[in-house]
Chain A
Amino acid sequence: MLRTSIAQGPAPTVYLAGEMDLDCADTLREAVNAAALGAETVTLDFGGVEFIDSSGTGIFVRLALDLKSQGTPVVARNLSPAVRGVFDMLRVRELVGDEVFPD
């Protein structure tokens, strides 16, 4: 199960924790959309994500592309080796753009 918390502000951060799979779509979208209201950018902090699979990755990619098209770029930080490994395998950087991963 995915858990989220938000640090609000002009450049809010959504802290993600738990597991990102087929089940995380609504939780992730609600949190990110709430944070994105009036924001210049939204940072997703993956520090607490213990597991992600291709469905969780696909949900993140879709969300990042949607927000980018609405003029609110997304930044992803604090990826664990497990998350980074899956993102690399699925070529997420190519899908969403290098700017999403400034670290």
Chain B
Amino acid sequence: MADDKTSAPASLRVYRYRAGAETVEAVLGTLDPEVPQEDLVAHADEALERDTFMCYAVSQADDFVADELCFVPQGDHCDILSIHTDGWQRHHGDHRRSLVEILNDLAAAVACGKLRVLDAGEVERAAADGLTLLERDIRCTADLQAAREAVDDILRETGADDVTRHRTVLCISEAITNMLLHGGGHGAMTVRRLGDRLRFVVADRGPGLNFLNWIEPPAEGGQASMGYGYKIILDHLDSVALHTGSGGTTLVLDRLTS
């Protein structure tokens, strides 16, 4: 993720603490050097021990910087969500307010298990699971429609009803659009069959998710996507997993078929 504290009005980082470890690792973004590791470890241990979601809000002296740290126990590890805002809240009515709403939605999705943030090894395994049904390069906007049609054909073969097909195709369209707008403009979509589900893997080698792009166009004449695509994806699929970093972004989208 390209966000850093000096340039971005807000960022979401995700860290992971494995029970018994002495440090945490960054899964999304980079570790914030201003947050002591021992504090994160202590809170993560407590969340795991109590098996309870814990959230801390940290207000600075000027009362405009508000950071949140959320600890989400996940069995043998604890995911730590760090939302940092960089003082922009003083601009009342600033359109960037919506960015924090987007980040909070994402954090809530992680906290309730709808969105899993994967590290590099996990996403590699998730993207290789099951049987390949379709592989398609995505290079331009014209590929969007072809990808949707291909996905719809596969869904028809599984006997999916009209609503399920429409919602799934919509989510795939959102994921590929995000890749075209913010993921370097090209990548690939793979459809795989696992036991009880279809898995759609949408991967690019772009610069990684930069949440700022969701509210401001990446280039003059470009289009901001407002982050709605992710809301649609989270609302309509059975399982969503994300890996993003400087080497690209991968979305693993599952639709149950039985």
Task: Identify the A interface with B (CB < 8 A).
Answer: 1, 19, 21-23, 25, 51, 53-55, 57-59, 82, 86, 89-90
Q: Give the residue name and chain of the A residue nearest to B169 (CB).
A: A51
A-B contact pairs, 17 of them (CB 8 A): A22-B141, A22-B177, A25-B223, A51-B166, A53-B170, A53-B173, A53-B174, A53-B229, A54-B174, A54-B226, A58-B225, A58-B226, A58-B228, A82-B166, A86-B170, A89-B231, A89-B232
> Which residues from chain B contact A19 at a C-beta distance below 8 Å?
145, 148
Compute how far the CA of A58 lies from the CA of B177 in the bound complex, rounded to whole angstroms: 13
Measured CB to CB, the residues of B under 8 A from A are 141-142, 144-145, 148, 166, 169-170, 173-174, 177, 180-181, 223, 225-226, 228-229, 231-232, 235
A-B pairs, top 7 by smallest CB distance, nearest first, are A54-B228, A23-B141, A53-B173, A22-B141, A22-B177, A55-B177, A54-B229
- Label chain A's interface by main secondary structure: helix
Residues of A within 8 A of B229 (CB): 53-55
Enumerate chain B residues within 8 angstroms of A53, measured Cβ to Cβ.
170, 173-174, 177, 229, 232
Which among A25, A55, A86 is the interface contact of B225 at CB below 8 angstroms? A55
> Assuming A53-B177, A54-B228, A55-B223, is B145 touching A23 (CB within 8 A)?
yes
Question: Do B169 and A89 touch (CB < 8 A)?
Answer: no
Cα A54 to Cα B228 with chains together (Å): 7
* Chain B facing A: main interface SS: helix
Of B181, B231, B232, the residue contacting A22 (CB under 8 A) is B181
Q: How far is the CB of B224 from chain A (nearest CB, A)?
A: 8
Pairwise interchain contact A21-B226, C-beta atoms closer than 8 A: no
A-B contact count (CB 8 A): 54
Question: A27 → chain B, closest Cβ, in Å?
Answer: 12
Q: How far is the CA of A23 from the CA of B174 in the complex (A)?
A: 13
- Contact partner of A89 (CB less than 8 A), chosen from B141, B181, B235, is B235
A25 to B: closest C-beta gap in Å: 8
| Known A-B contacts A51-B169, A53-B170; A22 and B228 likewise in contact (beta carbons under 8 Å) | no
Complex-state Cα separation, A11 to B252, whole angstroms: 47
Interface contacts beyond A22-B177, A54-B226, A55-B229: sample of 16 additional A-B pairs, CB < 8 Å, sorted by A: A21-B141, A21-B145, A21-B173, A23-B144, A23-B145, A53-B170, A53-B173, A53-B177, A53-B229, A54-B225, A54-B232, A55-B225, A58-B225, A58-B226, A89-B231, A89-B232
**Residue of A19, A22, A54, A58 most packed against chain B (CB within 10 A):** A54
Distance from B223 Cβ to chain A, minimum over Cβ atoms (Å): 7
